[in-house]
Structure 1
Amino acid sequence: MSENKTPRETDIVIAGGGLVGLTAALALASGAAGAPFRVVVVDALDPKSVVNAAYDGRNSSIAYSSWRLFEALGIADRLQGREQPINDILVTDGKVREGASPMFLHFAAAEIADETGDAPLGHFVENRHLREALLEAVAACDGIELIAPAKVADVTYAPGHALMTLEDGRTIKADLCVAADGRGSPVREKAGIKTIGWGYDQAGIVTTMVHDRPHEGVAQEYFLPGGPFAVLPMTGNRSSLVWTETKTVAADLMALDDDAFAAEAQDRFGTYLGDCRPDGPRWSYPLSLQLARDYVKPRLALVGDAAHGIHPLAGQGYNLGVRDVAALVDVLVESRKVGLDIGALTVLDRYQRWRRFDSTALAVMTDGLNRLFSNDIGPLRVVRDLGLGLVNQFGPARRLFMRQAAGAVGDLPTLMRG
């Protein structure tokens, strides 16, 4: 128990120092979108542990609009040489060992270059490198204090402030608490905010594959009866494999040795990348959909997975969190400029209205696509293959989907406009 009973006072306290929590801290404290805030971040994990390659084998797809926020905050510069541009996205449907359908959907960055300035559709970054860049930027920002490892014991809310109590007895008094502590968010649960959602009878297997031929910056989304099989370009002749299967099949695949696993993966990869083999450990994660019923309460705002968790087939989970952060920054900066209380519900309601529709719409879309494609029902296969082919042939529809994949549509917050 700490002997110091005086609360540490700040403008905003963030529960959770993961990818979204650190991004939020930098966006709020940097002043890139307006007057900077003083921020304290509390995270349960030791920062040294989360940049280890063995901690998390996942990668993040950073959409074009999210990358513009990275450029505004100086994160992009810290990732130079550690990110892989995504030049094309190819979506196909098929069966194991039978190959892909002749119908496909192809997105090429060059097709919307007049809007993006020849930028790629996005960038693919290993989570450990992204955490390193974020932690470096946080350490260089005077307006951020990172308290880690430390666990949040409780958060109470009063008319004028939120008071966070840590397990060691320290307290932090702030105008606003931001919950960025994941799908199981203790801060959300303590605030009494309920969630809706469901689990899938699916698990996602994640590993890195090394291959003989270059991927040319092409991201592949191959829909198979068990779920999407994504081959996502990494630096060098490496790709991140995000393989969705039923839980039973996923458990069997995780039990295989490297040679047998490589053979199963090659059956789905095909030969376009040459010989493919695992490079490092494998991870498996259960898949589910979850939406918070409320994104805000007085003195509290939810961001990232604390607000919404979606199926990973579109690679948009982190990008949703980045859009939360950028929208929240705009709302808080504008409110402070006119002298409003940044923790007041009337202020936070604007953030909720801005973000709820976008995240719910994307959750519904990914859920629907997963249900449509993760089966081997003949009539559905015909309909979805025709749909892919028709969209691919109709330029305006294809370009609209491309802009959506790049996050370049809708009411974009300041930090995502470039």
Structure 2
Amino acid sequence: MITPSNEFKSGGPLKQDLTSHVGPTMLSMFLSAHYGGDDVKLRFEEGEQWRKVFGPVFVYLNSASDAEDPYTALWEDAKQQMAIQVQDWPYTFPASEDFPKKHQRGRVHGRLLVRDRYINEGFMMADSAYVGLAPLGEPGSWQIEGKGYQFWTNADTKGYFHIDNIREGDYNLYAFVRGFIGDYKYDVNLTITAGDHINLGNLVYEPPRDGPTLWEIGIPDRTAEEFYIPDANPKYINKLYLSHPTSEAKAPAPVDRFRQYGLWERYSNIYRESDLVYEVGVSNYQRDWFFAQVTRKNETKNAYQATTWTIVFNLTNADHHNSTYKLRVALASATYADLHVQVNGPERYNPIFRSGLVGADNSIARHGIHGLYHLFNIDVPSDLLIEGTNLIFLTQSKCDTAFEEVMYDYIRLEGPLNSH
């Protein structure tokens, strides 16, 4: 099932969907709420007119001789065919006036740089950044957009990007960069007409930042893949994902280790008596941070309980001059969750932050490692912190089922603006 362009699909470059069904059934899905929930569903006003071209999609059937290794021969041939179809896009055969040909489309190119003075005083290359055009909206709104068309590419190692075959229309240019939190949006709306070739020059993304990094957990890549993913229950193991090659950064764990049924149950098996405690500077997030904060199954009561994770960190030269620290909490996924954050003190029911009900992407039940991205920027008054050992409590308070959860992408505590 070869889709030469994803321009008509919803949710941008990270949107996941189902590609197969029970039995030998392949799927090509154009719009769905999978890994997104109600947030990505299309909504229409009374009398609203709407039209959109889906596809074309290329269905390719190939064969191999008895003398060939079928896996290698069929798969490699399919990949070559995919490259051919991508090169041929946009197709010339659709007769519909709603499907513009190549000469009726436009191009945009430029370069994206990153500036974060707490990492580097100069500009940094937006290496492999996702850069795209999507309908007009707020930063990150492309995640839940499906009515219009989107055009995405990856920048090269120096941040240069080229976006081709853009349909006529009004767009914003968006981007996000692995290694940096938040979403970029170019501050000028772009109107694309037939034959346009727009050079945007150098663009600069300044990620959210109030002060120096005191500590961080994880990698800002919009997934929970770098955290601890347990072995699956032997009763549920899908052997297909035990034979995949390993990633050097996480060896010897298979790359698709998270694609196993029932991993949410493993949390209660591992943390039987008490919840996760992570000590900054001692713990290792690849080993000690469970990939999803799920509910705990109480077998005695046949019910689920909320879970509270604790981050322990040491603070020296604490600033108590009415200053503000900043806690950045980026979520890779959320399913009917309500996240509470509390700092020190015995009373956990007086949080400094409540997310409210967030997310419906159901990623953990669908064996995914991310859904929709959320970033919370939380002020931490300095009078809540003490010299020495401090505690941050993360409570996922919803606990009606096994699937209410959050997956963290990245957590960072920043010192006050003038601290060192």
Q: Same fold by TM-score, threshold 0.5 exceeded? A: no
Query: Scaled by the length of structure 1, what TM-score is found?
Result: 0.23
Greater share of helix residues, 1 or 2? 1
Query: Scaled by the length of structure 2, what TM-score is found?
Result: 0.23
Structure ranking higher on relative contact order (CA contacts 8 Å, 6+ apart): 1
User: Larger Cα Rg: Structure 1 or Structure 2?
Assistant: 2
